[in-house]
């Protein structure tokens, strides 16, 4: 989620008086970072080390980390990074001293490696899920929304019968619009790039996917072209919308009576299919040690500890989806988190965003075009043509 808040630096004292050991960690402002801060506090107390946590909003986190890594100033000893940032930052990360163990899910390990070398460990196993009002699907005898055409027809049926919005999505410019569009693009048989690595958003499949997204917009709340995850989740929590793509971080809120009017009514499913099987977008958070870190040994000790099975179980209890199979399959955790089987299935099949050093710039340009199509400022055809041109220009500048 992209936040507009100013960056916040938290100094967390975790050492006995007189200790001169310190570890500085850059974290995302959100539930993922909250769990890591707690783990860092515990590790610091065990190792008589002062922990300094630099907590930053999503957009600022990438910028600050990128600047520090390129200059190798050593401002951070450990960084959290979103998996599509890895190709851009990997040249300035320290390779892991030992390989990750095979308990990590393959989809999450794949985005921690380049040219056969691991330079990060997967900490948060984010992959999208499809949220839907099972009680209303049962009421109208609709069956599970396993195909996108069924999603649209069911949205119209439920929306008309219940006087609510049948669907809700985020289509704000940049990351929000791209995040909700990628499962549609893949399901309709399209992709951002062709086999030769050239932009391919003017393909019939890609344009059809955007046309379908615009149709979904007609059964979504007004203003959805400015929505991010918080607005989407608010519609589900208040019972004013019946379906959406969303992230696991919002699952707990759906069953929290203090936040939700739909407790026990939301079901969590894999992405719907179209021409191709449904595929969720991977959104894993990784932990890595910058090459400029002055405390590499301690930094690696911390990230191996924070990602072991025992600590990942604690992180799961604090709201983070795990990256280890054994944690997902824990009987005690499955009793507590009813969506774990669906999350595991989605994460095993999840697809990462294109692995390119230009992803952030590409995503921003692409997301503007998608948002314009959803707001009515451009036709789907024109929006995709614009996105194709801008992505081609970005790639040309990087050569």
pLDDT in tens, 264-311: 999 999 999 999 999 999 999 999 999 999 999 999 999 999 999 999
Region 65-74: what's the mean pLDDT? 94
185 to 44, 123, 181, 201, 277: CA distances (angstroms) = 44, 27, 6, 9, 11
Q: Quote the pTM value.
A: 0.89
Distance CA 53, CA 27 (A): 7
Spatial separation of the C-alpha atoms in residues 348 and 111, rounded to whole Å: 13
* 3-state SS assignment for residue 394: helix
Residue 321 has pLDDT above 50, yes or no: yes
Q: What token pair was written down for 84?
A: 């599509």
CB 287 within 8 A of CB 358: no
Express each pLDDT in 162-180 by its tens digit. Answer: 999 999 999 999 999 999 9
Q: CB neighbours of 224 closer than 8 A, spacing ≥ 6?
A: 168, 169, 170, 171, 217, 231, 374
Residue 60's contacts (CB-CB under 8 Å, 6 or more residues apart) are 7
The class that CATH gives domain 129-281+356-397 is alpha beta
Give mean pLDDT, residues 353-380: 97
In which region does residue 68 sit, left (phi positive, over 0), alpha (psi from -120 to 50) or beta (all else)? Answer: alpha
pLDDT above 50: residue 332: yes
The stretch 357-380 carries a mean pLDDT of 97
Is residue 1 very low, low, confident or very high in pLDDT (cuts 50, 70, 90)? very low
CA 269 vs CA 251, 326, 342: distances in Å: 12, 21, 6
Mean pLDDT of the chain: 93
- Extents of the domains making up the chain: 8-126+283-349, 129-281+356-397
CA pair distance 311, 74, nearest whole angstrom: 26
- 142 or 14: whose pLDDT is higher? 142
Residue 244 zone, left/alpha/beta (φ > 0; ψ -120 to 50; rest): beta
User: Can 8-126+283-349 and 129-281+356-397 be said to share one CATH topology?
Assistant: yes
Percentage with pLDDT > 70 across the chain: 95
Report which of 324, 334, 302 is spatially closest to residue 38, judged by C-alpha positions: 302
357-368 average pLDDT score: 96
* Count of alpha carbons within 13 angstroms of residue 123, beta-carbon side: 31
Task: Provide the pLDDT for residue 19.
Answer: 57
CA dist., res. 210 & res. 220, Å (int): 15
Report DSSP letters for 337-388, one per residue. -TTHHHHHHHHHH-BPPP--TTHHHHHHHHHHHHHHHHHTSS-HHHHHHHHH
Identify the CATH number of the domain defined by range 8-126+283-349.
3.40.190.10
pLDDT tens sequence across 21-38: 899 999 999 878 889 999
**Residue 48 vs residues 19, 255, 305, 343: alpha-carbon distances, Å:** 7, 39, 15, 37
How large is the average pLDDT for residues 250-275? 95
**Model confidence at 89: pLDDT above 90:** yes
């Amino acid at each position: 989620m992209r936040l507009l808040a100013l960056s916040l630096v938290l100094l967390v004292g975790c050492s006995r008086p007189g200790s001169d050991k310190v570890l500085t960690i850059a974290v995302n402002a959100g539930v993922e970072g909250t769990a890591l801060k707690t783990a860092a506090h515990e590790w610091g107390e065990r190792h008589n080390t002062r922990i300094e946590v630099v907590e930053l909003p999503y957009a600022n986190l990438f910028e600050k980390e990128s600047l520090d890594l390129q200059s190798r100033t050593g401002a951070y000893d450990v960084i959290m990074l979103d998996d599509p940032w890895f190709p851009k930052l990997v040249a300035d990360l320290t390779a892991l001293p030992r390989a990750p163990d095979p308990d990590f899910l393959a989809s999450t390990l794949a985005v921690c490696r380049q040219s056969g070398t691991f330079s990060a460990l997967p900490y948060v196993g984010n992959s999208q899920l499809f949220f839907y009002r099972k009680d209303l699907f049962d009421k109208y005898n609709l069956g599970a929304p396993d195909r996108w055409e069924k999603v649209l027809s069911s949205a119209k049926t439920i929306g008309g019968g219940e006087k609510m919005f049948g669907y809700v999505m985020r289509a704000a410019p940049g990351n929000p619009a791209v995040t909700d569009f990628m499962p549609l693009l893949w399901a309709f048989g399209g992709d951002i790039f062709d086999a030769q690595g050239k932009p391919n958003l003017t393909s019939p499949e890609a344009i059809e996917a955007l046309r379908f997204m615009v149709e979904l917009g007609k059964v979504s709340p007004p203003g959805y072209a400015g929505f991010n995850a918080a607005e989407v989740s608010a519609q589900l929590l208040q019972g004013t919308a019946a379906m959406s793509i969303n992230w696991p971080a919002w699952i707990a809120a759906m069953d929290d009576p203090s936040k939700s009017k739909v407790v026990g009514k939301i079901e969590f499913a894999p992405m719907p299919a179209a021409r191709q099987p449904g595929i969720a977008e991977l959104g894993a958070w990784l932990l890595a040690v910058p090459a400029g870190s002055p405390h590499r040994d301690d930094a690696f000790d911390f990230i191996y500890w924070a990602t072991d099975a025992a600590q990942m179980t604690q992180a799961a209890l604090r709201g983070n989806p795990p990256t280890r199979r054994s944690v997902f399959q824990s009987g005690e955790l499955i009793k507590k988190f009813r969506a774990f089987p669906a999350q595991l299935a989605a994460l095993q099949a999840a697809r990462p965003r294109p692995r390119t050093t230009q992803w952030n710039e590409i995503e921003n340009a692409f997301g503007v075009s998608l948002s314009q199509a959803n707001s009515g400022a451009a036709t789907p055809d024109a929006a995709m043509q614009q996105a194709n041109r801008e992505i081609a220009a970005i790639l040309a500048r990087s050569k």
